[in-house]
Amino acid sequence: MEHITAGEIGRLTGSIVRQVADFAPWLRKRGFRAGVPETLTALAALTELNLASIDEVCSAFRSIYARTPAEWGIFPTLFEQYFGIREARLEEKRRLQPEDLMGGTGSGENAERPPLEITQGILAGYHPNDGERFALRADGQVLKDVVKLTQLAVRTMDAPRGRKWQSRGREKIDLRQTIRSALRQSGEPFELKMRQRSPDKPRIVLVMDISGSMKPYAPFITSLAWSFTRVRARTQIFLFSTRLLRVTSLIARKGLSGIPYSDLPGLRGGTRIGDALAQLLHRYSSLLQRHTCVIIISDGFDAGHPEQMHVSMRDLADRVGRIVWINPLLGEPGYEPTSVGMSIALPYIDAFVDVHDVTTWKKAVHSGVLRAAP
């Protein structure tokens, strides 16, 4: 546990205790959420370990300080850097990759490098700011309004049936509620309680384009994503430029203060919507169900191969209940969705809307954009 006795700590030298105590603040500067409880656990672990075996200590500390696959991958390099046992192994640095690429290929031996693709002869889309990356920061002014509107939007969504729902066409007595009620009346079941439809939370997958061309809309879109984590819905949030990165916990935790560059490892400039959606389909297929509503926020400038975009959109549309595409450019005068990416995606989209501020989001919500067609 997080308690360590004087006897146990007495077996460790002052130097070791100091080094371990300083390790947590050092890790915090590198994005780890390590605190005093972790230090105490690490010291307690040292009393159980063979200190001569540094690999054993590294294994144990890794389990104590690392909390995610990304942290799990980078920890040995950091451990070696801090304790200075040997020179950092360069091959370990490859482990600092987006978490979706870590899944199942954590060891260096198994790591599958992304295929090198060269596309020639197709001008898929172009924007002057393509390639630039930016940190996400929510607009505090609009958050309150956005949350209210998002609550309304989620309430209008079709939620899957809950576990208590009986679909046999007749009402069922809810024995538990009936008896609970009867106990309040000296055990006399005056009132029969019937099972009620208890809808599950709606499932939403939000996929946000953070390529340079989307920069002007980033504060509002971050606010919108943050608002989805505050309403009654099962929401997962992904970012993409050329790769896909799940950021649900980051957005939920840091939506207001903003997400710095260092928290978005592996994302590079440019936009490959088709590739990102393919990663979503393969890595996170369990999120994509009949009741899932996928919301893609992008201007549709796709620099990937059109065939990939076509295949990904087709497969996504087959898999999920509804695809909503939010394109902030749609409100610009004279804009036509004629870019290659956008025109490929359009046939598979259930709703295509302009949302770039509170007013347009309100308009979209009132038009029932998240509600499936009857």
Partner 1 sequence: MNEQVRRLQEELHRSHYVAEEGLATVVHLAQRLARPLLLEGPAGVGKTALAKALAAVRSVNLVRLQCYEGLDASQALYDWDYPKQLLTARTAFTDGAVKQEALYSEAFLIERPLLRALRERPAPVLLIDEVDRADEEFEALLLEFLSEFQITIPEMGTFRASEPPIVILTSNRTRDLSDALRRRCLYFWVDYPTFEQEAAIISLHVPQIAPNLVKQIVFSVRRLRKLSLLKPPGLAESIDFAQALTELGAQELNEEVIRHTLGCLLKTQEDMDLLKERGFDLLWNT
Q: Does 151 bind partner 1 (CB under 8 A)?
A: no
The residues near 132 (Cβ < 8 Å, ≥ 6 apart) are 211, 212, 215, 269
Beta strands across the sheet bearing 322-326: 244-246, 234-240, 203-209, 292-297, 322-326, 351-353
Q: Are β-strands 292-297 and 351-353 bridged in parallel, bridged antiparallel, or unpaired?
A: unpaired
**CB closer to partner 1, 167 vs 186:** 186
Q: How many residues bind partner 1 (CB under 8 A)?
A: 57
Determine which residue in the list 268, 282, 290, 366 makes contact with partner 1, applying CB under 8 A.
282
**CB closer to partner 1, 122 vs 175:** 175
Binding letters toward partner 1, positions 4-43, x by CB under 8 A: -----------------------------x---x---x--
Q: Does 182 bind partner 1 (CB under 8 A)?
A: yes
Bridge partners (DSSP) listed for residue 234: 203
Segment near partner 1 (CB under 8 A); pick from 5-13, 100-108, 145-153, 263-271 = 100-108
What CA–CA distance (Å, rounded) separates 216 from 231?
25
Secondary structure E strands in the chain? 203-209, 234-240, 244-246, 292-297, 322-326, 351-353
Determine which residue in the list 286, 333, 338, 373 makes contact with partner 1, applying CB under 8 A.
286
Determine how many CB atoms are found less than 10 A away from the CB of residue 162: 12
Task: State both tokens at 44.
Answer: 């307690």
Determine which residue in the list 11, 13, 36, 53 makes contact with partner 1, applying CB under 8 A.
53
Q: Does 59 bind partner 1 (CB under 8 A)?
A: yes
Residues 304, 267 contacting (CB under 8 angstroms): no
Q: Does 72 bind partner 1 (CB under 8 A)?
A: yes
Residues 222, 255 contacting (CB under 8 angstroms): yes
**CB closer to partner 1, 305 vs 356:** 305
Residues 194-233 within binding reach of partner 1 (CB under 8 A): 200-201
Q: How far is CA 349 from the centre of its chain?
A: 22
Task: State both tokens at 45.
Answer: 């672990």
The contact set with partner 1 (CB under 8 A) reads 1, 33, 37, 41, 44-45, 48-50, 53, 55-56, 59-60, 62-64, 66-69, 72-73, 103-107, 109-110, 112, 162-163, 175-176, 179-180, 182-183, 186-189, 200-201, 234, 236, 246, 248-249, 253, 278, 282, 284-287
